Amino acid sequence: MKKFIALLALAGVAHGVAAADLVGDPKAAQNKIAMCIGCHGIPGYRTAFPDVYQVPLIGGQSQKYLENALIQYRKGERSHPSMRGVAGSLSDQDIADLAAYYAQQK
């Protein structure tokens, strides 16, 4: 049992290191932005689902903020249903790439 717990602990550490080592590639994100740009790329865009609200433009936002937000949506810690669906389909590398792409936008 002790070996099993140690293995789980090592796996958690290794996973954390791998995730921390990810580097976002803005160029790779260009093939991934189609699901984002339809809402987040339109100035003044309002959505009607689940409620009517103005969708924020995310260009120029902090890369770390964007990564954290997408991870929180993926985990269900943020509740917007559309964003949860989109983020749920993203890998850690996708998130890093998208965050790098939008962070460099003005």
Q: Is residue 2 part of a domain?
A: no
Q: Which structural domain, as residue segments, surrounds residue 56?
A: 23-103
- For residue 10, is it within any domain? no
Q: At 72, which CATH number?
A: 1.10.760.10
Q: What is the pLDDT of residues 6-28, one digit of tens each?
A: 444 444 444 443 455 799 999 99
Phi-psi sector, 93: left (phi>0), alpha (psi -120 to 50), beta: alpha
52 pLDDT band (50/70/90 cuts)?
Answer: confident
Tally of domains in the chain: 1
Q: Can you give 15-54 as a three-state secondary structure string?
A: HHHHHHHCCCCHHHHCCCCHHHHHHHCCCCCEECCCCCEE
Q: Measured at the alpha carbon of residue 84, what is the angle toward residues 105 and 12, in degrees to the nearest 5?
A: 90
Q: Is residue 9 part of a domain?
A: no
pLDDT at 50: 75
- Domain assignment present for residue 1? The answer is no
